[in-house]
Amino acid sequence: MRPALSVNNIVKYFHEPETIQVLKEISFAVQPGEFLALVGKSGSGKSTLLYLLSTMDTDYEGTIDINGTRLTGLKQNELARFRNEHIGFVFQFHYLLPEFSVLDNVMLPALKLGKLSPEQIRTKALELLYKLDIKGHENKKASRISGGQQQRVAIARALINDPAIIMGDEPTGNLDSKNTKVVFDIFRQLARESGQTIVAVTHDDEFAANCDRVIEMVDGKILAG
């Protein structure tokens, strides 16, 4: 089976304040539907790796392929289009647009993609919100709902374009244990039922322990996985 994500010989340097090598010849592949946790101490390079995978950071050596598309060497605008269609992001902070309604926040990436009519997008966004148990808040401003709800809205936003791969940067880092479990279950279900690949950086040992696979990083190298 074609891997959902494959990484080959990634090398990355930070040049400020002095040049250090943060990632040392990293290579691995992730299968479709796999739920992967990236763990490691802070400074181990796991977040740096995730942002390379996210295509937002293009300053590296080696190659990255997602769903058979070679992303290394593409232009910023092409990468933006690719992210829009194929990658969903969930961050530690929800980063919702506070002046928009909950529904608008979820619809934005799909409106940008423009494959469906606004009416269809609306229906789909509502379905997602109901599935994530956010009912009755659709027309509230994003800044007016609770932290757990905001994170679930952010997940709905990440899912609206049916991305092949969902990336999480400590997606539960800011949530209490109850909400952490909710978010984890959602990811679990997405990987199992929709076959979506999930790559999440986490500090949470329990979260990691329940994933399909854990990659542990130490000093810019993969220790186990």
Partner 1 sequence: MSVNNKIAWVHLTSKIRQLIVAVLSVTFGISMYIFMNSFTGGVNDAQAELVFNTMAHIRVYNDLPKEAQRLLPVPEGRDTVQFVSNPKRIRYTEGIKNAGPIRELLESIPDVVAVTEQLNENVFFHNGVSKVSGSLSGIDVESENQMFNTAQYMTEGDLYELERRNDGVVLGTGLADKISAQMGDVISLSTADGILKAYKVVGLIETGASSVDKSRAIISIQAARQLLSKNRSYATDVLANLRNYNDARSQAQRIAVSIPYKTEAWQEGNSQLESANTLRDILAVTVSLTILIVAGFGIYNIMNMTVNEKMREIAILKAMGFDGKDIVQIFLVQSVVIGFMGGVVGLFLGFLISVGVDHIPFKIASLNTLPIAYNPIDYVMALAFGLLTTFVAGYLPARKASQIDPVEILRG
Binding site for partner 1 (CB under 8 A): 47, 51, 54, 56-57, 76-77, 80-85, 89, 91-93, 95, 97-100, 104, 108-109, 111-114, 157, 169
C-alpha dihedral, 53 to 172 to 121 to 83, nearest 10°: -10
Find out whether 150 and 71 touch, Cβ atoms under 8 Å. no
C-alpha dihedral, 202 to 206 to 209 to 213, nearest 10°: -20
Least distance from partner 1 to the Cβ atom of residue 57, Å: 5
Least distance from partner 1 to the Cβ atom of residue 56, Å: 5
Looking at the Cβ atoms of 78 and 206, the one nearer to partner 1 is 78
Find out whether 209 and 12 touch, Cβ atoms under 8 Å. no
Looking at the Cβ atoms of 84 and 179, the one nearer to partner 1 is 84
Looking at the Cβ atoms of 6 and 47, the one nearer to partner 1 is 47
Looking at the Cβ atoms of 82 and 212, the one nearer to partner 1 is 82
Least distance from partner 1 to the Cβ atom of residue 1, Å: 26
Least distance from partner 1 to the Cβ atom of residue 77, Å: 4
Q: DSSP string covering 38-106, please?
A: EEE-TTSSHHHHHHHHTTS----EEEEEETTEE-TT--HHHHHHHHHHHEEEE-SS----TTSBHHHHH
